[in-house]
Amino acid sequence: MDTQPLSYKDQHIATGMLFEVKAVIKDLAAAITESSSDEIHTFLTAESKMTIAQHQQIYGFLQTRGIYDAYNIPAQLQKDIGYAKRALNQI
């Protein structure tokens, strides 16, 4: 797999995709709990599983490029500070 660093714009797009997928997962979970039809419940559950798989793929993509590190919180916080400073300099 190609693990070249991402440009700022590509990182921003991929991170946005990650956040959007996460929001869809939450919305699907809420819809599943509200559905009364077995057919709708089954459909939403299948969509939820596919969306979770998409989230895993996007997160894995970002993790292999050093954007996220869920297992090293202090290092991740330093990365996030750096990302925020870089974003502020882009304005």
pLDDT 10s digit of each residue in the chain, 91 long? 556 778 888 888 999 999 999 999 999 999 999 999 999 999 999 999 999 999 999 999 999 998 888 888 999 899 889 888 888 887 6
Model confidence, pTM: 0.79
Q: Tell me whether residue 24 is exposed, middle or buried, using C-beta atoms within 10 angstroms of its C-beta: 0 to 12, 13 to 18, 19 or more.
A: middle
48 neighbors 29 (Cβ within 8 angstroms) = yes
Q: Which residues contact 25 (CB under 8 A, 6 or more apart)?
A: 48, 51, 52, 55
Q: Which residues contact 52 (CB under 8 A, 6 or more apart)?
A: 25
